Structure formats: structure tokens, C-alpha cells
A and B are shown apart, each in its own frame.
Chain A
Amino acid sequence: MTDPELVAQIKVGNEKAFRLLVEQYQRMVLHTCLGFVQDRNDAEDLAQEVFIELFRAMDKFRGESGLSTWIYRIAVNRSLNFIRDQKRRCFFQSISTRLTGGTTVDVADQSWRSRPDHEVENNQRRANLYQAINRLPERQRVAFTLSKLEGLSYQDIAGIMGLSLSSVESLIHRAKLGLQKQLYQCYKKGL
């Protein structure tokens, strides 16, 4: 079944078509969310929310952009909202821990530590890498993540982000420079 056929079937309430859509795009959505939130459980939860939103908003899809572009857009927006909410939660959490005199806990770091199947060295590299990515300005982070983690073309990223091709090229170029600079600083510290 092609994408327009899938959309048409879902719009008339065909449950099998929705299941097909989920099966077809679940890996893509999960990987996109993982690229932003870096925690498997959070990413899976977010990916499910993406499909729920897709199902509810299917009537609004007019097919002006490709179905995958639309799905990517929802996944990216959901992930960014999640990160913003998490930052807000962390902010209030840090205030409450300061008030109660407790110690602060690095949530992202904890999530990587909970993975038993990785060596200490790679854990450190991974922590440095995602810390550097998360420090990038939001648009640079989105463009870089879609390019590097999803392997999307600059043209596709431009469609998802609603930007021109040259803007995407510039964002990714700056993201790479920023990332390399931060990774070099981490490398020098580790020597």
C-alpha cells in the first residue's frame, strides 16, 4: 500500500491501515526521538505519542508534503517539547533540592550509566558527545541530528524544518564546527 493509499484508508477508519503505518514508520520515529532524548524508555514513549498525534490529526494531512516529512516534523516537535519540559522540570527540581539541601542528580548521565553493555571509555565518549550535541543551538541540533543520526539529505531536512537548502547547509556546517570544538575541549581535558 502506498503512502497516499494508507492515509486515505486511515481517514476512513481502517485500523489495519493504521497498523501498517505504525509498522512501516515505527523504527524511523523511534530513532528520531532517540536522537534527541537519548533515553530508550522516554524515546519509546514519545514515539507512541507521535503515532497517537498522527492518528488524531490525520484529517488535517493534505498531502502537500510527503507523509514521512510530516511524521518527522511531528517527531521532532514532540522531542523538542519533551526536552523543554525536562529542562523546566530540572530547573524546579534543582530549586527544590537547593531549598531542601539535597544533592543534584544528572538525569541524562544516569540514563547512560544504567546501560550495562557498554565499556567505561565509550560511556565517557557518549556522555561527551551528547552533552556537546545538547549544547548546540536548537536549530543546529535538529539539522545535525536529522543529518547524522537519520542520514537524511539536506533537501529532506529543509522540507522538515521549513528552511531553504542553503540555511540547512549553514546550520549543519556551524553545528559540526561547534561540536568539534566542544569535543576537542573534552579530549584535551581527558589527556
Chain B
Amino acid sequence: METRSHAQIQKKLIFYLDNQLGAKEHQQVVQHLSGCDECAAFLRELQSTLCLLEENKQHEPGAYFYASIQNRLQAGHRQPLLGIRLLQPAILVLLLALGIRLGIWIGTQSYAESVLSEQAVLVPFNDLAEEPIEEFLLNLK
């Protein structure tokens, strides 16, 4: 069988399973499937897979379903408000800006401190510069 024919039939299989094909197309698919093991195997697989959708219908709500709703209603359980959802990124941006500002402040402070300490180290040299060498030697004696 032609590959083109396989592809054309495989496109129709999900509709074939749901009985949504016209009479002519339905007949074409039936004919093809009777002589094509590959497409027939995929049809079986598709059917088995789609059958799993029925599983959801077997689930029953838990025994305390209504009691839980009542509890949540009484506790005033609320979903996060839209405003809070929108506020979250704004708060994050604000915190980031504050962090940057704090970083700049700490940087400025430490720079100022380092300048002051440099000046403190330089003081004796300044004094030395102001004190004539003769006087210094006299004081040393």
C-alpha cells in the first residue's frame, strides 16, 4: 500500500472511531483497514488510549466533600485577590530597588571610611612636612 494512502487513512481514524465520517469515507477506511495491519494496529492503540478518558468518570467526590466546603466557607477561605497578584511583582521591583539603594549607600559609606582612614594615615606625614627637619632632629635628642 502507498505511504500516502496510509497517511490519509491515519488522519481519519479518530473520526472513524467517533462515527463522524461520511458513508463513502467510512467505507474507504474499512477497506483499507482490512488489508493493512499497520493502520489496524494503530487504530487499536488509538482506541485503547482514548478509552482511558472514560476513567475520569469513575471518580467520586470524597466523603467529606461538602463538609470541607463548609469549613472553608466558615474559615473565610479566600483565594489570593487579583490586586495581591498584581502587587507581587511591584513589591519585588521595590525590594530590588531598595537593595540596589542599600548597596550604593553601603558602598558610599565604606568609600568615605577608607578616605578618612587614608587621611588619618597621612596625618603624620603632613605633620612631618610642616615640621622642619632641624626641629625634628633637635626633638629627637
Q: Which residues of A contact B (CB under 8 A)?
A: 19, 22-23, 26-27, 30-31, 34-35, 40, 43-44, 47-49, 51-52, 55, 122, 125-126, 128-129, 148-149, 176-177, 179-180, 183-184, 187
Contacts and interface: CB of A to CB of B under 8 A. Distances in A.
Contact of B52 (A26, A125, A177, A180): A125
Contacts of B10: 180, 184
6 contacts: A26-B65, A48-B65, A125-B48, A149-B56, A183-B45, A187-B42
Interface residues of B, number: 29
A128 B42 contact: no
**Helix, strand, loop or mixed for chain B's interface?**
helix
Given A22-B69, A149-B56, A176-B14, A44 B61 contact: yes
A55 B65 contact: no
Q: Report the 6 A-B pairs with minimum CB-CB distance, sorted nearest first.
A: A180-B14, A26-B61, A34-B56, A125-B49, A176-B14, A48-B69
B13 A27 contact: no
Interface string B62-86: 1001101100110001010000000
A177 B11 contact: yes
Residue with the greatest number of chain B CB neighbours at <10 A, chosen from A22, A23, A35, A184: A184
Given A176-B15, A180-B46, 11 more contacts: A26-B66, A31-B56, A31-B57, A34-B56, A43-B59, A48-B65, A52-B77, A55-B69, A126-B55, A176-B14, A180-B13
B42 A34 contact: no
Given A48-B65, A129-B49, A129-B53, A184 B72 contact: no
